[in-house]
Amino acid sequence: MIIRWSLGAAIVASLVALAGRPVNAAADWPEWAYPVNPPVSAFDATVAKQLPGSAKQFTQAQIEDDFNPPDWYPEDHPSMPPVVANGRPPAVKACSKCHISSGAGHPESADIAGLPVGYVERQMADFKNGNRKGARATSMLPIAKAVTDEEIAAAAQYYAGLKRTPWTKVVETDTVPRTRLGTGGMRFPIEDGGSEPIGKRIIEVPQAPERAELRDSRAGFIAYVPTGAIERGAALVMTGGDGETTPCASCHGEELRGKEEVPHIVGRSPMYVFRQLNDVKAGTRAGPTAALMQQVVANLSQDDMLAIAAYLASRGP
């Protein structure tokens, strides 16, 4: 759905027309897609935690360390550059804290494994110059302003070289477990909390909640989506619906796995994908490619964007 911004005068004209477009102050920011981080209390620094298949041990305080997050399975990935493994105090948090060593990330952050180097570098530039400033982008802003070009390049090359693995299982349903927000805005089922109607939401929870709290890079997520969302999303993605939008394959490739510096869009967290589409429509994602995406999302409702996100996630990486 991202249209290459080097396509000539027509595209340049559209950029000029959209560049001054204001952020939609009346935009709807649904809580399920924009979780608000709960208050943080002190983390336990005495009890050592373990994960299956790992010889390492960390306390919860160590797990939550922004500059030395756990690497439970170093054998699963190449050597991490310093900016990914440890960051650089005081402002450049370790990339692996939120995106984890595998790049799979969590629904409240982003999965970045396999993204083109140029695309990652462009997004970091957008964070730095203010073109990306959505509600869930705030944690990236101080990092982007402090990180060096060399560190960005090292992180982009590391994550671009990682193989994408299945991470999100999409389930259509009418009801979902009642949930709570944990550290960082990750959603967890409430034990013995019962269920509730899903409504017009995507609810993503860890497949193994106790492992997700330890930032396990081998345990993925379940994405609950409304019944019928996948079929509806398929029509919008593949054909553009009834002229509502542009078929995604025209820019992201026939398999929707990206091409050149255009990113892949299948197998990603549907909550994250919805948030990006909604941010573009609201104007909190700006810049050349986002300006062109404005044309793609202009006629889409939030229900449409939810369905698109559900279908893309169901395709797997």
58-115: pLDDT as tens digits: 999 999 999 999 999 999 999 999 999 999 999 999 999 999 999 999 999 999 999 9
Confidence of residue 135 (pLDDT cuts 50, 70, 90): confident
pLDDT at 306 exceeding the cut of 90: yes
Q: How far is CA 168 from CA 51, 182, 213, 269, in A?
A: 20, 19, 17, 7
Q: For strands 195-197 and 175-177, give the pairing.
A: antiparallel
* Number of alpha carbons in the 13 Å side-chain half-sphere of residue 37: 12
| Mean pLDDT taken over the chain | 90
Give pTM, 2 decimals: 0.90
Q: How far apart are CA 156 and CA 80, in angstroms?
A: 11
So what's the pLDDT on residue 5? 33
Q: What is the pLDDT of residues 26-65, one digit of tens each?
A: 358 999 999 999 998 899 999 999 999 999 999 999 999 9
So what's the pLDDT on residue 28? 85
Q: Does domain 9-166+229-314 correspond to CATH entry 1.10.760.10?
A: yes
Nearest to 139 by CA among 106, 176, 161, 164: 106
In the numeric block, the tokens 């560049």 are attached to: 19
Q: In what order do the strands lie in the sheet with 168-173?
A: 168-173, 221-226, 203-206
So what's the pLDDT on residue 222? 98
Q: What is the pLDDT of residues 240-255, one digit of tens each?
A: 999 999 999 999 999 9
So what's the pLDDT on residue 114? 97
User: Could you state, in order of their start, the residue ranges of all structural domains in the chain?
Assistant: 9-166+229-314
So what's the pLDDT on residue 287? 85
Residue 226's beta-bridge partner residues? 173
Q: How far apart are CA 231 and CA 237, in angstroms?
A: 10
